[in-house]
Amino acid sequence: MTQSTQPKQATGKSPTHVAYHVRERANNESFWTRIGSAWAHSDGQGFNIQIETVPLDGRITLRTVSEPAK
């Protein structure tokens, strides 16, 4: 029997980060598309990431969740 060494993640909580696919445009502008979310492990040593699509080009950027503008 193998004992799990994976960190525990709090369940039922809002994500701590948002995953974006970032593509650079020819005019030095970036186009950001939300593609998923991430939750920090309770021990602070990693993340669980849920990606809804995988980009073929560009990069994936994780950003902390910010409060919506009021």
What element of type H or E holds 55? Answer: none
| Integer Cα distance of 9 and 20 in angstroms | 22
Domain of residue 57: give its range: 17-64
Average pLDDT score over the chain: 82
Q: Does residue 31 belong to any structural domain of this protein? A: yes
pTM above 0.85, yes or no: no
* Higher pLDDT, residue 5 or 57: 57
Could you tell me which residues are beta bridge partners of residue 64? 17
* Residue pLDDT, tens place only, 15-33: 999 999 999 888 889 999 9
Tell me whether residue 4 is in a domain: no
pLDDT tens, residue by residue, 37-58: 999 999 989 999 999 998 888 8
- The confidence score (pLDDT) of residue 14 equals 87
Residue in 51, 53, 58 with CA at minimum distance from that of residue 25 = 58
Whether residue 35 is predicted with pLDDT greater than 50 in this model: the reply is yes
What residues pair up with 32 in beta bridges, in sequence order? 22
57 in a domain, yes or no? yes
**Is 25 inside a domain boundary?**
yes
Contact (CB, 8 A) for 39 and 13: yes
Total number of domains constituting the chain: 1
